[in-house]
Structure 1
Amino acid sequence: MPPASRPPNDGTNAPTGFGRLPAPLQWGLVACLSVLTTVPLEAAGFPAALLMGPMLAGIFVALGGGSIRLPRIFFFAVQVVLALIIATMVSQDFVGTFLENWPLMLLVVVSVISVSTLSGWLIARTGILPGTTAIWGSSAGAASTMMIMAEAYGADARLVAFMQYLRVVFVASFATLVAHFGGHDGAAMPPHAWFEPVPMLPLAAMLAVGILAGLAGQKLRIPAGAFLVPFALASVLNSSGTVTIVLPQWLLVIAFTLLGWNIGLGFTRAILLHARRALLPTVASIIALISFSGLLAGLLILVLGIDPLTAYLATSPGGLDSIAVIAASSKVDVAFVMTLQTARLILVTLIGPWLARFLADRS
C-alpha cells in the first residue's frame, strides 16, 4: 500500500472543496465520517470493518478535495503494530509452511506476477500509459515498494500511485465482501472490550522491539521492511513461547483506523484527474487479476483441501497489510495466507526491475 505523501504541486492542486478547510477540521470530518461508516459495518459483523469504514471515509474526503495525509511516522507505527497483531496468530513456521507446499506455492506466485505483468504490458501497448509506468502500476507486489522502485526507474509516480491505490481498494473491498457473505463474519467487538487491561511493561517492551526491528528493516532497505522484519521476529518469539504478545484492543482499533485513512486519503482528486485516461483499462485489469486469483484459489482448494477464504486471501494481489488485517479479522489459516503473500512480495521485488525494463523496451 502506498506510503503517505502529498501530490506534487503542478498548478492543479489549488485548494478546493474540503481542502479549503483548516487541517484540524478536515481530520475532524474524516473522523466523524469514519464513525458513520464503521458502526454499521461492525454491527453487521463485516471482517475488517475497522479498516473498511475509515478507508471509505478517507476516500470521500480525498475526492472531495481534502488535502490532509497521514504523516509517515504514523504509517510506520501502524505497520509495526499490524506486524505484532498478525504475529500473535501465527503458530506455524513460515519456512516450514512454504517447504511443505513449495511447488504449488511457487506456481501460484509466478502465475499472479505473470498475469499482472501481462496486464501492464497490454495497457502499455495501447499507448494510454508509458511502458514502465503501466508495468509498475500493475505489479502485484507491496504497493509502497512498487511506488518507490517505479520512481527510481523513471516511471510516473502519480500514475503508479493511482493504479496501486485503486487495486488496494478493489482487492480489500472484494475480499471483505467474500469473507462476509462466505460465512466468515467477524464478531462485532463491544466497546467495553476495547479498554480491557493488559500488562503494560511487556507491552511497552514488545512495542520497543517492534519499532527497532521496523527501523532496521527500513535501514536495510528490505521491501516492506517496517512490516516484515517485526512480523518475522515477533512470530518466532511468539510461536516458540519465548514471548507472549498481548495487545490491547484500543491499539488494534487505532492501527486499523489509521491504515484505512492512509489508503483512503491517498485516493486524491488530483491523482484521479491525472489518470482519468487510464481509469477504465486499469479497472478492467484489476478485475481480470482478481478473477484469475480466484481461479488460483480454486486450485489450492482442490489440491490442498484448505478453507476457501484462506485460499482466496492467500492468492489476492495485495496489498500485504490490508490482506493481513482481513485475515486477522476472519477465521482463516493466517500462517498460510502470510506465507504466500510474503513469497510473492519477495519474488516480485527481486525480478520486478528487470521485468519492467525488459517489457517496457518491447512495448
Structure 2
Amino acid sequence: MKMSFRLGRSNLIFIIISGIGGLVLSLTGLSIGWMIGTLIVAGILSLLNPKLIRGLHREKGLEGYWLRTGQLLLGIEIGQQINLSVINVLTQGWLTITAMILISIILSLASGFVLFHFSKTDLITSLYGTTPGGLSSMLGIAADVGANVAIVSIIQTMRVILVEGTIPVTVSAWSGLGSGKAVVSGVAATLNPVTAAGLIFAVVIAASGALAGKKLRMPAPWLLGSMLGVGIAQALTGLIAGKNLPIWWPHDLIIVAQLMIGASVGARLNRKMFAGVARTVVMGLLGSLGLMAAMFLCALLVTDVTGIDPVTSILAFSPGGIDVMAVTSVVLHANSTFVVAVQVLRVLAICIILPPFFSLMARHQKHSEQQTKVSSG
C-alpha cells in the first residue's frame, strides 16, 4: 500500500512536470492544447528518461487509475452534452444527420484501411488513428486496447490541427467576421448546494456506468460507460423535468482530464513505437486532408438539398473540435445548436459503435494470422 502511494505521488509529480507543456501549448488557443502539450513533454521525458524523472513512473507508464480518472472526467463532460436540444435537432433532421455521420464513418474506415495497407502500422492502430471521434476519446480508448498510441496521437493531432486551423478561417472569410464575445456553455457555472449535489450525482452515475461497462466488456469502459451513464441521466432529466441536470462543472476539470490522459499516454511511449513512422505520417496526413475535403463537399451538398446555411453545415459536419466549431458558430451567428448537436452525435456514434467493431476485427485478424501460421507450419 505504501509502495503504491509513493508511486502515485511520484506519478503526480510527473503529470505536473508534463503539464508545463500543456500550459504552454494552451496559450496558442488550440482547443486540446493542454493534452497535446502534456503528451509531447511526457513522451519526450519517457523516451529520454533523464535522471530528473527516473522513478516517477514504471516502464509500462503511470498507474492505471490516472488514465481511468481522466477518462471518467471526459465521459462526464461529453455525457452532459446529451440534452433536449440535441434530441430535438436529431428528431428534426435525423435523416441528414444520420447520412452524414455514416459517410464520415465509412470515409474514416476507408482511410484506416489505406493507412494499414500502405504503411507498417497494424490494423487496430490505423483504424483508431483515422477515426474522427475526438482526440481525447480516441487516445483514451486506444491506450486501453493495445494500439500504438504514438501513431494514434500523431495522426489524430494532425487531423485536429488541420481542421481547427483551416475550417474556422475558411468559413469566417466566407461569411465575414462576426462580432461579440462567444460563450458556449451547457452546464451550471455557479457553485451552490444544488449544483454541488448534481456534480456528486453525476460522478456516482458515471462510475456506475463505467463499472457496468467493465462487466459488459465494453472497450474503455471508464470513458464510454461514464459517458452513456451521464448522457442517459441528462436526457431523462430533460424529458421529465424539462431542464438539464444542475451540475457544477468548472472548466478546470476537463483540463485535469486532459493532463491525466496526455501524461498517461505519453509515459507509455518508447522508441519501438516510432519505427517506420515517416511513411505512416505521410499517409495519415493525406487521409486527414481527404476526409476533411470530402466532408466539406458533403456539407455543401447538405446546404443545397436542405437549405441549411453553408456556414452552419460546414461547421456541423467538420471532422473535429466540438468546442472550436461551436464557438465559431456563435461568433458567426450560425445555428450553434445544430452545430453542437451534430458534432456531439458524431462523437457519440463513433465512440459507441466503432470500438466494439474494431475489437472484433482485431480478434478476427489475430485468428486468421494464427491459422495461417498453423497451415504454413
Fold shared by both chains (TM-score > 0.5): yes
The answer to whether the aligner puts 1:75 opposite 2:70 as a matched pair is yes
1:236-247 matches, cutoff 5 A: 236-237=235-236, 239-240=238-239, 242=241, 243-247=243-247
Amino acid at match of 1:63: I
In the other structure, the counterpart of 1:56 is 37
Give the TM-score normalised by the residue count of structure 1. 0.68
In the other structure, the counterpart of 1:87 is 82
The answer to whether the aligner puts 1:107 opposite 2:103 as a matched pair is yes
In the other structure, the counterpart of 1:11 is none
Structure 1 residue 304, shift from structure 2 partner: 1.7
**1:105–1:340 Cα contact (<8 Å) kept:** yes
Deviations 1:201-233 (A, max 9, x none): 333333333332333233323345234413531
Q: Pick closer, same or farther for the CA change 1:205–1:350 going to 2, 3 Å.
A: closer
1:229-240 matches, cutoff 5 A: 229-237=228-236, 239-240=238-239
The answer to whether the aligner puts 1:339 opposite 2:339 as a matched pair is no
Q: Pick closer, same or farther for the CA change 1:63–1:121 going to 2, 3 Å.
A: same
In the other structure, the counterpart of 2:205 is 209
Deviations 1:3-37 (A, max 9, x none): xxxxxxxxxxxxxxxxxx95554344334554444
Deviations 1:37-70 (A, max 9, x none): 43x34xxxx363xx31353144124313455547
SS at match of 2:153: helix
The answer to whether the aligner puts 1:166 opposite 2:154 as a matched pair is yes
Give the TM-score normalised by the residue count of structure 2. 0.66
Cα separation, 1, equivalents of 2:362 and 2:44: 30
Amino acid at match of 1:169: T
Between 75-84 and 274-283, the greater mean CA deviation after superposition: 75-84
Amino acid at match of 1:240: L
Structure 1 residue 312, shift from structure 2 partner: 5.8
Which residue, out of 201, 221, 233, partners 2:217? 221
Q: Pick closer, same or farther for the CA change 1:326–1:280 going to 2, 3 Å.
A: same
1:112-151 matches, cutoff 5 A: 112-123=108-119, 128-129=120-121, 131-132=122-123, 135=126, 138=129, 140=131, 142-146=138-142, 148-149=144-145, 151=146
In the other structure, the counterpart of 2:191 is 197
Structure 1 residue 139, shift from structure 2 partner: 5.4
Amino acid at match of 1:229: L
Residue ranges of structure 2 left out of the alignment (5+ in a row)? 1-8, 47-52, 330-335, 373-377
Percentage of pairs with the same residue: 10
Cα separation, 2, equivalents of 1:22 and 1:228: 29
Cα separation, 2, equivalents of 1:279 and 1:205: 44
Which residue, out of 156, 177, 181, partners 2:169? 181
Cα separation, 2, equivalents of 1:138 and 1:195: 34
In the other structure, the counterpart of 2:5 is none
Amino acid at match of 2:163: A
Q: Pick closer, same or farther for the CA change 1:87–1:100 going to 2, 3 Å.
A: same
Amino acid at match of 1:64: L
More relative contact order, 1 or 2 (CA 8 Å, 6+ apart): 1
Residue ranges of structure 1 left out of the alignment (5+ in a row)? 1-20, 152-156
In the other structure, the counterpart of 1:348 is 354
- Equivalenced residue count is 313
Structure 1 residue 113, shift from structure 2 partner: 0.9
The answer to whether the aligner puts 1:295 opposite 2:293 as a matched pair is yes
**2:130–2:284 Cα contact (<8 Å) kept:** no
**1:52–1:173 Cα contact (<8 Å) kept:** no
Measured on the aligned residues, the alpha-carbon RMSD in Å equals: 4.1
Amino acid at match of 1:293: L
SS at match of 1:266: helix
Q: Which of 1 and 2 has greater Rg?
A: 2
Structure 1 residue 355, shift from structure 2 partner: 4.7
